[in-house]
Structure 1
């Protein structure tokens, strides 16, 4: 049985198979019993008929005739009673023979050295057996049809509480604290146990989510303070005219790292919230985010000896979430900067989309589908990254209903295309599923 079938269908199938097995055994039992009874009755009636014939007539002058469906023969008889060679060779007792092309039951008796044979035509018995067989087949088919109907009714009745529980789970937000428990609505049976287990699991899940929210808020509060201290300290150090060039570069690196950490904290806080809880108070256009990212990553890319191309001619003026868009674009530019040693990096803005492409080492075909998984890196020997950047990009795009696509460039390099869904009145208008 295919386990992919619904539980209702499996119950109906099992019920029908069980009914078919019982009806089949019952039908075979009826046919076998009737056949044995008919044979036994035929043996008894033939034996009794033969003995009555022998008792009613004189052996030397036979005058009694058997029934119409019977034939009587006597060894040494004359005319219709004359026994053929085939009949004379029959052993005594009950048996089935073929006589003149027809099937007969034969009862053979030997008295005082003389053999007597009484034959009965099987046609009437065969007609009764055929009629019985037709009745049994019709009864078997009707029993299967009845089993299907009763099985469906029974399955619906049995599955009604399970279907009700599934609908309650599907159509109610059980994760909110005000959601009532499910198990009081059900009897103390298996379905009630399932509802109770579901309530207990949801209770633990609510506690876990509550702890996660508290942890997220605490971490965000505790991290923002030292990050602000780092940022302000870097500003004070950079304002010092006597700071050496080497020290200035190190302070800039610290300031950039603290700013990236601040953006990362804000991104994780955003991802911890539900999409409907996000407003557009931190919204900005695609070009505004790109200009800010170009100011940071364009300088680093050029310092590495690469050509940086920025094309913003076709950028739309639609609003997007500032924090999340910064994180997506920044991670893709960082990825291009990190894995490109020669050539160029290009950022192209389009109508509700942008493209980041490079001439770097590229991504092998067998790793393309795994690059958006956590802890997966294109080249394990480069840098100290953990391979979480593209995973974070995928999480943000999934939450915002954006689409990110990775394609390989020839002869080397890769291209990331991000299709953005525009925010309208706090709601995200997504793209249709491909």
Structure 2
């Protein structure tokens, strides 16, 4: 499992590790140096004491000559001065000897084949070592705490311009054409170079969005005239009394397609503007009004296909929504249900602040469910009709209006689309 830390955390960890290495090296060096120097001093002092004892003329009484914390032995010595068996193997020089529960420093000399050993209790030395270890450990811990604190302070200062730049880039007005450049607010350093790169990228993104809006607006505007001509021609044909039943049905189908195309063009035009403040200029309708119009429009095609149209009007709130966009969302979901349902039913149910469209169609495979709202993704590629743009348009409209659309499969088959029209904050 890979752990991902933020840049600030990495700075703090780097400071802590660097402090641990440096402070650890210094601590080990101090302990080793003090231990070595103290052993050298003790060895020199103990050696001097042993040589002083060997140079004394009167060797008949040794009891008063060693220091209080020292014990003197020599081979062949009288009584307590006799060299013990556990010290006879020691070579000349300085040693550390453990006897019973105590430890001693020992200095050994051999003169004329005779072994002389002087022991000195090292309890004071060990106590000083323990104090030294405690001081070094406390210093090591304090250095780590100080390093973490300094790393935190430095990380805040280093990351402050980066955090500020991230907030500026995320601002919703950054894609507007009049948005000021970011680079002048920063020094000519790495963060400044990052701001320059963001300016270049955002500039290209603004140009692409502007081209998209212009293209959508131009196409929507140019399509209105031929659609009006088609609609007028259909009206004239329907007034012709000599038109037979089959021809009249075809003309009505063309007229219905023209009406849907006009609504689709208007929807694209509104999405191209993408300005919520223009919503008051658009036609407003309640959820019930939009649903009644679409049920009357789609009931005949649905029942002609042999399906059952179920409409549950419920008791939705009398909130007025953008009629064009709400009509596009609900109409695309009904069209999608009709396209993928061969038998059974299509159900439209209104709720308090939303609606549900259910069908008994082929359903959507689990592996495609998350991608169904992407452009050019279709539930069943074997069907020749449709480009897979209907659900993408639904998702885009919902994001633009702050609505929420969700997809779930029905049992044993079919789909359930739920749209929540509550404005997201």
Fold match, TM over 0.5? yes
In the other structure, the counterpart of 2:326 is 325
CA shift, 1:27, in A, is 0.6
- Residue number in structure 2 paired with 1:384: 385
Q: CA deviation at 1:170?
A: 4.4
Give the stretch that moved more between structures: 107-116 or 355-364: 355-364
| Residues 352-387 of structure 1 deviation map (CA, whole Å, 9 limit, x = unaligned) | 433333333344556544433433333333342222
Q: Determine the C-alpha separation between the residues in 1 that align with 2:97 and 2:235.
A: 119
Q: Alignment partner of 2:418: what SS?
A: strand
Q: Which residue of 1 aligns with 2:75?
A: 75
SS at match of 1:278: helix
CA deviation map 1:17-71 (0-9, x unaligned): 2111211111111111222222222222222322232223356776871222222
Aligned residue pairs: how many?
Answer: 424
Say whether the 8 Å CA contact 1:280–1:321 is kept in structure 2. no
Moved more, 180-189 or 364-373: 364-373
Alpha-carbon offset, residue 98 of structure 1: 2.6
Corresponding residue number in structure 2 for 1:95: 95
Match of 2:84 in 1: 84
Name stretches of at least 5 consecutive residues in structure 2 with no aligned partner.
none
Counterpart-to-counterpart distance in 2, 1:37 and 1:131: 16
**Secondary structure of the residue that 2:175 maps to in structure 1?**
coil
Name the SS of the counterpart of 1:416 in structure 2.
Answer: strand
Distance 1:63 1:339, change over 3 A: closer
Q: CA deviation at 1:403?
A: 3.2
Question: SS at the partner of 1:56?
Answer: coil
The Cα shift of 1:136 comes to 0.7
CA distance in 2, matches of 1:167, 1:406: 33
Give the corresponding residue for 1:427: none
Partner of 1:404: 405
Q: Is the 8 A contact 2:234 2:251 kept in 1?
A: yes
- Cα 1:185/1:239, change in 2 over 3 Å: same
Task: Compute the displacement of 1:300 (Å).
Answer: 1.3
TM-fit CA distance, 1:411: 4.3
Q: Is the 8 A contact 1:280 1:320 kept in 2?
A: no
Kindly report which structure 2 residues correspond to 1:297-312, keeping only aligned pairs within 5 A, or say none. Answer: 297-312=298-313
- Please show how residues 268-417 of structure 1 align to structure 2 within 5 Å: 268-272=268-272, 273-312=274-313, 314=315, 316-364=317-365, 367-417=368-418
Are 1:57 and 1:64, in contact at CA under 8 Å, matched by a contact in 2?
no
Please tell me whether the aligned partners of residues 74 and 116 of structure 2 are also in contact (alpha carbons under 8 angstroms).
Answer: yes
Question: Which residue matches 2:227?
Answer: 227
2:178: which partner in 1? Answer: 178
Q: CA RMSD in A?
A: 2.8
- 168-177 or 219-228, which deviates more: 168-177
Aligned 8 A contact 2:71 2:119 in 1: yes
Partners of 2:170 and 2:215 in 1: CA distance: 29
Deviation at 1:177, TM superposition (A): 2.9
Matches within 5 A, 1:78-157: 78-99=78-99, 101-157=101-157
Q: In structure 2, the residue corresponding to 1:264 is in which secondary structure?
A: helix
Shift of the 100–3 alpha-carbon distance from structure 1 to 2, 3 Å rule, reads closer
Residue 66 of structure 2: SS of its match in structure 1?
A: coil
Match for residue 249 of structure 1?
Answer: 249
Please give the alpha-carbon distance, in whole angstroms, between the structure 2 residues aligned to 1:367 and 1:58: 106
Q: Are residues 420 and 74 of structure 1, via their aligned partners in 2, closer, same or farther at CA, if it must alter by over 3 Å?
A: closer
Shift in CA distance, 110/420, structure 1 to aligned 2, threshold 3 Å: closer
Is residue 76–residue 83 contact of structure 2 (8 Å, CA) maintained in 1?
yes
Name the SS for the 2:348 alignment partner: strand
Shift of 1:404: 3.1
- Partner Cα separation in structure 2 for residue 306 and residue 412 of structure 1: 15
**1:126 CA drift (Å):** 0.9
CA distance in 2, matches of 1:358, 1:351: 21
In the alignment, what sits opposite 1:239? 239
Contact 2:264 2:328 in 1 (8 A): yes
Mapped pair 1:419 → 2:420:
yes
Residue aligned with 2:387, SS: coil
- Cα distance between partner residues in 2 of 1:262 and 1:336: 21
User: Retained in 1: the 8 A contact 2:282–2:323?
Assistant: no
Query: Any idea what SS the aligned residue of 1:355 has?
Result: strand
Unaligned runs of 5+ in 1: 422-429
Determine the C-alpha separation between the residues in 2 that align with 1:350 and 1:54.
110
Q: Measure, in 2, the Cα distance between the counterparts of 1:69 and 1:293.
A: 108
Distance 1:116 1:409, change over 3 A: closer
Decide whether aligned partners of structure 1 residues 68 and 366 sit closer, same or farther in structure 2, where only a CA change above 3 A counts. same
**Greater CA drift, 216-225 or 299-308:** 299-308
